[in-house]
Amino acid sequence: MPTDVLRRKIVLGGALLAAGIAPPARAQAPIATARIVPGAAAVEQSLPRIAAEAGILEALGVRAQFLPPASPAAALEALDGGAHLAYSGPAQVAERFLKGGDAVFIATAIEPNRGGMLMGGPAVRGPGDLRGARVAVLSAAGATASAVQAVFERLGAGAPKLESLGSYEAAYAALAAGRVEAAWLTVDLALKGRGAHGWTTFEGVRLVLPGGYVTTRRVIASQRGLIETLVQSLVAAIHYFKADAAGTSQVLQKILGVDARVAAELQAFYAPILRPAPAPSLYFGLTGLREALGGRYPAAERLQASDLVEPAFVEAMVRDGTIAKLYSRR
């Protein structure tokens, strides 16, 4: 049996086993160690951890070594240092390419979505309480600031007083400590804060382009089989997420540090927007990348999607019917 077909049969069996809908099969002997950079404590960035906790990576013969968590930019640097898989955003990958790097998306797990929520602290119970509020964002000139301004405009709450804190975790901590009245948070942290502190939710009003799972063309050339297997594990983890809500909720409690109710809410929120076939995509963001980076990089005007994505791994699973077979057993 050809090696690529064999691997895809293994991923099918591993995913079904992890979902509890197939008889146990003997785990394959480890064929390699995959060095994986965790992203933020968010569902779409946690699929490798889910694959590890659910036994999918082990079933595929991969031993996962999780490196210290890193920001999207630092994650790309870790790839240059020998990591095999990381999570990053389109802007970071595009800028890396324009600087001469070879990072590429190999899987984009979720559809464009709200991307986050504006959360109000204990004193904020309605739009009127947002007037004059200090709001924690990543950067006063970035996407989180734009999202907050759009929510304030929609609610008629005037202009927010933005405080740049650099990370979602810092924004969460500032709101929890009462240093700000509101914060823009990922869906994961927003639901966690609502459960833990009773914060008020003001949902976003625009679609946000997700990032995706990234490796380098250099690693693909030298360890193609391992990268193929890692993509298969992401596909299997998505299936597990959708097929076993209770098992997924237990995993999310462990890896995200949330209680059972929040974990169930996260599973319900993400299950519909996780893509069964997570082909890497920039969606409608290429024009925005050219515009945003054009001032610093003249070559940005010639930027193409093919510079930033490698779809072959997911396409192979679609083409030979592996993903269709996976979901036909649900």
For the chain, give every domain's residue range.
Answer: 3-112+209-328, 117-203
Task: Please tell me the pTM assigned to this model.
Answer: 0.81
Run of H or E residues at 8 = helix 3-18
Token output for 284: 């409608």
Average pLDDT over residues 237-246: 93
Over residues 311-328, mean pLDDT: 90
DSSP 228-287: HHHHHHHHHHHHHHHH-HHHHHHHHHHHH---HHHHHHHHHHHTTTB-SS-----TT-HH
Among candidates 215, 270, 230, 182, which has minimal Cα distance to 83?
Answer: 215
Q: Which of the four pLDDT bands, split at 50, 70 and 90, describes residue 142?
A: confident
**β pairing state of 62-66 and 32-36:** parallel
Could you tell me the pLDDT band of residue 35, with boundaries at 50, 70 and 90? very high
Which pairs with CB-CB distance under 8 Å and at least 24 residues apart come from 154-162?
Answer: 154/205, 155/127, 155/130, 155/202, 156/127, 157/127, 157/128, 157/130, 157/131, 157/133, 158/130, 158/131, 158/132, 160/130, 160/133, 160/134, 160/135, 161/132, 161/133, 161/134, 161/135, 162/135, 162/137
Helix (H, G, I), strand (E, B) or coil at 41: coil
Give the whole-angstrom CA distance, residue 318 versus residue 92: 28
pLDDT of amino acid 282: 92
We find that the CATH architecture of domain 3-112+209-328 is 3-Layer(aba) Sandwich (3.40)
Q: Inform me whether the pLDDT recorded for 330 exceeds 70.
A: no
What percent of the chain is predicted at pLDDT more than 90?
A: 62
Provide φ and ψ at 207, rounded to 5°.
Answer: -75, 140
- Residue type (1 letter), 324: A
Give the mean model confidence (pLDDT) for residues 85-96. 93
Work out the end-to-end distance of the chain between its first and last CA atoms, rounded to an integer number of angstroms.
26
- Distance in angstroms (rounded) separating the CA atoms of residues 68 and 81: 13
The confidence score (pLDDT) of residue 138 equals 87
Per-residue CA distances from 113 to 155, 182, 211 (Å): 20, 21, 11
Q: Nearest-5° angle of CA 276, CA 281, CA 282?
A: 145
Kindly state the average pLDDT of the residues 6-16. Answer: 51
Average pLDDT over residues 228-237: 94
Whole-angstrom distance, CA of residue 238 vs CA of residue 177: 35
Residue 207, pLDDT score: 65
What is the average pLDDT across 154-168?
91
Whether the predicted pLDDT of 23 surpasses 60? no
- pLDDT band at residue 63, thresholds of 50, 70 and 90? very high
3-112+209-328 and 117-203 in the same fold: yes
Q: What is the pLDDT of residues 164-222, one digit of tens each?
A: 998 888 999 999 999 999 999 988 899 999 989 999 998 766 567 888 999 999 999 99
DSSP H or E run through 288: helix 286-294
Secondary structure class of 89 (helix, strand, coil): coil
Of 129, 243, 262, 144, the residue nearest 192 (C-alpha): 262
Using an 8 Å Cβ cutoff, are 232 and 317 in contact?
Answer: yes
161 to 129, 194, 300: CA distances (angstroms): 13, 22, 33
pLDDT (0 to 100) of residue 30: 53
Residue 58: CB atoms within 10 A of its CB come to 19
The DSSP secondary structure of 177-240, one letter per residue, reads TTSSSEEEE-HHHHHHHHHHH-PEEEE--S-B---EEEEEHHHHHH-HHHHHHHHHHHHHHHHH
CATH architecture of 117-203: 3-Layer(aba) Sandwich (3.40)
Q: How many helices (H) and strands (E) does the chain have?
A: 15, 10
